[in-house]
Amino acid sequence: MIEELLPVSVTAVEAFGDPAGDPEAQESALYPEEKLLVARAVDKRRREFTSVRVCARRAMEKLGVPPQPVLTGERGAPRWPDGLAGSMTHCDGYRAAALVRTTDLASLGIDAEPHAALPDGVFGAIAVGPERERQTTLGAGRPEVHWDRLLFSAKESVYKAWFPLTRAWLDFSEADIELVPDPGHATRGGFHARLLVPGPVVGGTRRGAFEGRWLVEDGLVLTAVSVPHT
């Protein structure tokens, strides 16, 4: 599903569950350096960590890149092989990784969430004023979509695309996201993320906004942001 939201230059691999679910398979699916990162993690965290990396290595293979460890760098961001940009996501029942050659895109971000309302208090913490106003209108017109969760997911995708370009934190309040349903489709569309702080310089131009796509399907909310070079 996630590939529907991404340019054709991006290779995405997804799994509905844990392809490496049992302990022995988990051990064999991880590189020694990766095992150290989850040596003290609970089982749920180990399964998520392992299965999303299985997806990432399958995406590497599809791009003709030898599979290799996916370690974590600053602020937990994945460290990709030279020449690749990418993003990973996981939630209950879903894992995905998306990779692209850096000659094709400057950066990308993906996120998956359960299609359910956010816990109490979260929407107020992540939404800026204009977003709250638009959410009221969207909810009245298309109540079948949990717009609060969709906004949260879009902000996560924006951050994942932002960080590799800036190496800086982006707070929820520092991007104003307008969600736009596709005409005639209640459960898919695009979004425009206006950055409220100075954006990254890409291709010699400072970017003040990112563009993304979203999809609600099979109990999931999926969002993706692609940042071209020009």
Residue 19 has pLDDT above 60, yes or no: no
Per-residue pLDDT of 57-80, as tens digits, reads: 999 999 999 999 999 988 889 999
The type of residue at 154 is: A
CB 63 within 8 A of CB 103: no
pLDDT band at 184 (very low <50, low <70, confident <90, very high): confident
Using one digit for the tens of pLDDT, what is the confidence trace for 97-106?
999 999 999 9
End residue of a domain, out of 46, 79, 104? 104
Q: Which domain holds residue 72?
A: 2-104
Domain end position, chosen among 54, 89, 104: 104
Q: What is the mean pLDDT of residues 163-186?
A: 94
Calpha distance 229→98 (Å, rounded): 18
Question: Looking at the structure, do residues 147 and 213 belong to the same domain, yes or no?
Answer: yes
128 shares its domain with 97: no
Q: What is the pLDDT of residue 28?
A: 82
The residues, any chain, with a CB within 8 Å of residue 175's CB and separated by 6 or more, are 155, 158, 193, 194, 195, 196, 210
Beta strands at 175-181 and 188-195: parallel, antiparallel or unpaired = antiparallel
Q: Based on the fold, state whether residues 19 and 95 are members of the same structural domain.
A: yes
Residue 75: DSSP 8-state? G
Comparing CA positions, the residue from 221, 224, 197 lying closest to residue 209 is 197
The H-assigned helical ranges of 69-185 are: 122-126, 129-141, 147-166
pLDDT score recorded for residue 76: 87
- Residues 184, 160 share a domain: yes
- Domain CATH number, residue 42: 3.90.470.20
Predicted pLDDT of residue 173: 96
Q: Look at residue 20 and tell me whether its pLDDT is greater than 50.
A: no
Residue 27 has pLDDT above 70, yes or no: no
Place of tokens 């000659």: 103
Same domain (yes/no): 97, 130: no
Contact predicate 126/155, CB 8 Å: yes
Give 42-54 pLDDT, tens digit per residue.
988 999 999 999 9
> How many Å apart are CA 87 and CA 129, to the nearest integer?
29
Does one domain contain both 119 and 220?
A: yes
Taking residues 9-22, report their average pLDDT: 80
Count of structural domains, the chain = 2
Is the pLDDT at 23 greater than 90? The verdict is no
| 56 and 14 fall within a common domain | yes
Task: Answer yes or no: do 83 and 145 share one domain.
Answer: no
Evaluate whether 78 touches 101 at the Cβ level (below 8 Å): no
122 and 92 co-located in one domain: no
- Last residue within a domain, chosen from 73, 104, 135: 104
Same domain, 146 and 50: no
